[in-house]
Amino acid sequence: MREVIISNEVKDGLVELKQKLLGLQGIEKGQKTFDSIMNAIDNLEIFEIGKNIKSEYNIDCPDNWFILYTHMNYFVFSRTETMVTILKMYNEREDIIYDLFGIEMRSQESKEYWGEWL
């Protein structure tokens, strides 16, 4: 079993996400969605889930960096034999690869749909 460490930035993001979900979905459904997200994070203790960034996107980065997608949110984490460190959290509309590596991967169609503000 691995220890899961969540960065302060992600902790703050999770607090904001919970409040947003409760506001948008109501207390019962919002809490259920948030619990499901936290359950996915907890599963990182036991299961080797997530997509490897290096092999999935053919990007030069550490071999142990992964992305977990759950409920319209991405979590970037590193994994070793004993520890998972959640480094960043993104909404599905954000350009993760550009933010992390400065590589533009969004299509023109995506930019037009979501806007340039992302």
**Widest Cα–Cα separation across the chain:** 44
> pLDDT, tens digit, for every residue of 68-118?
999 999 999 999 999 999 999 998 877 777 677 677 766 778 777 766 544
- Residue 118's pLDDT is 45
DSSP string, 34-77: HHHHHHHHHGGGT---SEEHHHHHT--S-TTEEEEEETTEEEEE
> pLDDT, tens digit, for every residue of 47-73?
999 999 999 888 888 999 999 999 999
Taking 3-state DSSP, the helix, strand and coil percentages for the chain, each rounded to the nearest 5, stand at 45, 25, 30
Residue 97 CA to residue 83 CA, distance in Å, equals: 23
Are 82 and 3 in contact, with CB atoms under 8 Å apart? yes
Mean pLDDT across the chain: 89
Q: Which of 19, 10, 3, 1 is nearest to 86 (CA)?
A: 10
CA torsion angle for 114, 92, 53, 50 (degrees, to 10)? -160
Domain map (residue ranges) of the chain: 3-91
> pLDDT, tens digit, for every residue of 20-35?
999 999 999 999 999 9
Give me the mean pLDDT over the 5-32 stretch. Answer: 97
Task: Place domain 3-91 in its CATH homologous superfamily.
Answer: RelE-like (3.30.2310.20)
**95 φ/ψ angles, rounded to the nearest 5 degrees:** -90, 90
Residue 86 CA to residue 59 CA, distance in Å, equals: 19
